[in-house]
Amino acid sequence: MKELFPKQHVMGFGFSLLLTIVALSVVTLDMSYNIAFTILLVTALAQATVQLVLFMHIGESEDKKTLYTSILYAVFVGVITIIGSLLTMIWGYQ
Amino acid sequence: MKIDSSLPLEYSTEENRLKIFGFWIFLGAEIMLFATLFTVYFVLANRTGNGPTGSEIFELTPVLFETFLLLTSSFTIGLGIHAMRLGNKKAMMTFFITTLVLGLGFLGIEIFEFITYVHEGATITTSAFLSALMTLLGTHGAHVTFGLFWGIAILIQVAKRGLNAQTTNKAFIFSLYWHFLDVVWIFIFSFVYLKGLIS
């Protein structure tokens, strides 16, 4: 039975629950918007990394360099789309 | 065809390795798809018109349940793949069924949430904010719904044919898809619900 629950997965699950509770602190505790947003950004990125590395085993095959590159490229395009749109439509640039 | 016996069964043929590789490329495209939906949401989040704002309609408790269900289902499908690599078909199927039940629970809460919104007068046509919100949530929910059928199809194949190079490959690719949906949900949880509740 024990072999069905590898340490890596159990730790990853515990870590993701912990990150959820930390993210939740932005609602339960009183803090400035900038600090809250930073906490959300850090916890969400950490969650995504836990999933990719511990659960999806992105680094286990010999293609791992290509996989990391294509996922990072997709994230790059996504972030440019989000930041660029906010810059032109909401924040302004003057 | 090169066979590398140090890798698990789902990587055992050239075709299997390429399918897993190709699925990661597809996930890259999915990241960009959800990035555009998040873009629309962020740009329109304050355009509430005469409708309610995010902090008025978002409720923390059901969202926390959804998050917990999806996080746990991501954990159980990881355990399912681990059991599959040990060659334990029964444990693998049990973990996969658990995953799908948790996914169904998630979907149930989400549908209930949508019904609540509509009863409160917050429909997809009420404001630009709600259009963007429901498109984002709906696209994620549609992915989960599709995943439930996909998971059932894989369970049937594993039950009938056992764990071989084909079925393990399909199950592994499905697990990548399911973990990815959890990642997307984490971003929805953080930047739609939690952010909406504090601003």
CB contact under 8 A, A51 and B29: no
Give the model's pLDDT for residue B153.
97
CB contact under 8 A, B198 and A33: yes
Q: Is it the case that residue B26 has pLDDT exceeding 90?
A: yes
Binned at pLDDT 50, 70 and 90, residue A23 comes out as very high
Q: Does B148 touch chain A (CB under 8 A)?
A: no
Q: Does B49 touch chain A (CB under 8 A)?
A: no
Give the model's pLDDT for residue A61.
80
Q: What is the average pLDDT value for chain A, to the nearest integer?
A: 90
Report how far residue A4's alpha carbon sits from residue B78's, in angstroms, rounded to the nearest whole number: 10
Q: Which of B164, B147, B152, B143 is nearest to B97 (CA)?
A: B152
3-state secondary structure B168-194: HHHHHHHHHHHHHHHHHHHHHHHHHHH
Enumerate the residues of chain B whose CB falls inside 8 A of the CB of residue A92.
none
Report how far residue B25's alpha carbon sits from residue B160's, in angstroms, rounded to the nearest whole number: 30
Predicted TM-score of the model (pTM): 0.93
Nearest chain B Cα distance for residue A66, angstroms: 9
The CATH T-level fold of domain B10-198 is Four Helix Bundle (Hemerythrin (Met), subunit A) (1.20.120)
Segment B3-27 mean pLDDT: 84
The domain segmentation of chain B, as residue ranges, is 10-198
The domain segmentation of chain A, as residue ranges, is 1-56, 61-94
The tokens for B52 are 């309610």
Give the model's pLDDT for residue B10.
84
Report how far residue B194's alpha carbon sits from residue B199's, in angstroms, rounded to the nearest whole number: 9
Segment B168-181 mean pLDDT: 95
More confidently predicted of B97 and A58? B97
Segment A23-43 mean pLDDT: 91
The span from the first CA to the last CA of chain A, in angstroms, equals: 62
Report how far residue A34's alpha carbon sits from residue A30's, in angstroms, rounded to the nearest whole number: 12
CB contact under 8 A, B38 and A82: yes
